[in-house]
A and B are shown apart, each in its own frame.
Chain A
Amino acid sequence: MDDETQMSFQVKYFGMLAEIAGLSDEVWNVAGNLTVGQFRAQMLDKYPAMRDKKFKIAVNQKISEDFVSIETPAEIALLPPFAGG
């Protein structure tokens, strides 16, 4: 038996990142646990055009560093530079 659990969470894209991904949200499925940094690496593999873009990752609406573990249920958001005002 494989004791690795399947994990899935919602990912939202904004601004230029939504344009690169070609969508504004999707479900991310992975085996086992994931940190924000590991998620970022998977993301850049899937969307190489994001490699030269600046963005922050929010987990459940909180901007999170790479060492943070993603605990489901989670809503992950990729946030390009802010432009309010």
Chain B
Amino acid sequence: MEKAHKPKKVFVQGPISPDFVAKSIASHQSKTGIGAHAIFLGQIRADQKEGGVVTGIDYTAYEEMAEQAFHDIREAAFARFELTCMHIYHSLGLVPTGEISLFVFVSSPHRRAAFEASEYIVEEIKANVPIFGKELVGDAGFVWKENT
């Protein structure tokens, strides 16, 4: 069997900038077999909690296990969907409300594979990657986030 894709660096410190997303799109213009990109961006929401409004999330991770989990998700997605390429970035550290903490970018010859792969990848990340989030609330409070 063809040896699969190299492990890639997923974690970035702090928010993912719109400029980084734009440059990622631009870097695919030479890959002319692609007909469809699907992009998912996770943004920090200003939820109302007891004690105030969420001002940001401070992310930590069991990094070695998380990198392996991201790699497994990549391999599974390439096996299930007709993808040309795939990029996943997730923040560590503080991401303020309104900023981006997750960037999933899949490219395919056709739209259906791109749509389906992006949803699959996001759901897998939420369920299976050991990332932890402390939601900062009001001036000094916090709540530990839990994916549902």
**Binding partners A and B:** yes
A interface vs B, CB < 8 Å?
Answer: 12, 14-16, 58, 61, 77, 79-85
Q: Which of A12, A81, A83 contacts B62 (CB 8 A)?
A: A12
Complex Cα spacing A82 to B123, Å: 12
Interface centre among B126, B129, B144, B147 (most CB of A within 10 A): B144
A-B contact pairs, 14 of them (CB 8 A): A14-B60, A14-B61, A61-B62, A80-B132, A81-B144, A82-B126, A82-B131, A82-B132, A84-B61, A84-B90, A84-B125, A84-B126, A84-B147, A85-B122
C-alpha spacing A62/B41, complex, angstroms: 28
Measured in the bound complex, the distance between the Cα atoms of B145 and A31 in whole Å is 37
- Cα–Cα, bound, A77→B101 (Å): 24
Residues of B within 8 A of A (CB): 42, 57, 59-62, 64-66, 68, 90, 101-102, 122, 125-134, 144-147
In the complex, the answer to whether A82 meets B127 with C-beta atoms within 8 Å is yes
Which partner residue on chain B sits nearest A13 by CB separation? Answer: B62
A contact residues around B129 at 8 Å (CB): 82, 84
A81 neighbours in B (Cβ, 8 Å): 144, 146-147
Choose among A14, A58, A61 the residue that contacts B132 (Cβ–Cβ < 8 A).
Answer: A14
- Residue in B59, B68, B101, B122 whose beta carbon sits within 8 Å of that of A61 in the complex: B68
In the complex, what residue of chain B is closest to A18 when comparing beta carbons? B60
A12 to B132, CA, bound (A): 14
Q: Of all chain A residues, which has the CB nearest B131?
A: A84
Contacts of A82 in B (CB 8 A): 126-132, 146-147
B146 to chain A: closest residue by CB = A81
User: Which of B66, B131, B144 interacts with A16 by CB under 8 Å?
Assistant: B144
A61 touches B65 (CB 8 A): yes
Q: Which residues of A contact B102 (CB under 8 A)?
A: 84-85
CB distance from B15 to the nearest CB of A (A): 14
